[in-house]
């Protein structure tokens, strides 16, 4: 993980000189996505569903914090139907998620789309915001599909009594990686 962060940090440093904030946001999203998927696959291949839940509950926020710190931005996950209330979308993210959902419904390729824009934080400060869709894959259905195995449902029910992140089907918008880059100018 550390070598990937160093490589992407070097890439982002050169991107900063070119002021390509979208490239920086893509790199942050890609780093978090690949790290999470690798850890989830490892846990699920070992038959450790509780370990997979722990990846999303414990490791994901720590990975997001480390990547954010290493790359000088903020990266995380959000969804219209959250499992962890901490990932609840703000107004900009909700509008962006609805836009991504519509674009996917209209047949656009998830790998080719994102939602980004400059957002005014205050009259003196703007930040670059970015969303990259997370599309439901077969891997996701273990914890986000319907039906969910009773042992998985039990673990999720204990940890997330207000869980909304179930009932997904392959190809459906599961959520998005969300990135904020402050201190830059359009």
Give per-residue pLDDT as tens, 160-177: 999 999 999 999 999 999
Cis peptide before 147 (omega within 30 of 0): yes
Average pLDDT, the chain: 89
Q: For the chain, give every domain's residue range.
A: 2-182
Which pLDDT belongs to residue 50? 87
User: Can you tell me whether residue 173 is helix, strand or coil?
Assistant: strand
Report the pLDDT averaged over residues 88-97. 98
Global pTM reads 0.87
Which pLDDT belongs to residue 137? 93
pLDDT in tens, 103-127: 999 999 999 999 999 998 888 889 9
Q: How many Å apart are CA 25 and CA 21, to the nearest integer? A: 6
Determine the angle formed by the axes of helices 21-45 and 2-17, rounding to 10 degrees. Answer: 170
Residue 109, class by beta-carbon neighbours within 10 Å (0-12 exposed, 13-18 middle, 19+ buried)? exposed
Highest mean pLDDT among 57-61, 90-94, 136-140, 152-156: 90-94
CA 29 to each of CA 34, 100, 103, 133: distance values in angstroms, whole numbers, following the listed order = 9, 15, 19, 10
Residue 160: which of 96, 79, 94, 48 has the closest Cα?
Answer: 79
């Amino acid at each position: 993980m550390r070598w990937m962060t160093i490589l992407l940090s070097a890439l982002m440093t050169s991107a900063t000189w070119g002021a390509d904030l979208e490239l920086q946001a893509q790199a942050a999203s890609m780093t978090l996505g690949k790290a999470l998927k690798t850890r989830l696959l490892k846990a699920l291949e070992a038959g450790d569903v509780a370990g997979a839940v722990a990846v999303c509950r414990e490791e994901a926020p720590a990975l997001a914090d480390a990547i954010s710190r290493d790359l000088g931005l903020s990266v995380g996950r959000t969804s219209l139907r959250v499992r962890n209330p901490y990932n609840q979308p703000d107004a900009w993210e909700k509008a962006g998620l609805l836009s991504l959902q519509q674009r996917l419904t209209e047949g656009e390729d998830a790998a080719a789309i994102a939602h980004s824009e400059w957002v005014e934080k205050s009259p003196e400060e703007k930040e670059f915001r970015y969303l990259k869709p997370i599309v439901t894959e077969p891997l996701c259905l273990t914890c986000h599909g319907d039906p969910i195995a009773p042992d998985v449902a039990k673990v999720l029910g204990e940890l997330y009594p207000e869980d909304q992140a179930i009932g997904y089907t392959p190809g459906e918008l599961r959520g998005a990686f969300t990135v904020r880059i402050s201190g830059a100018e359009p």
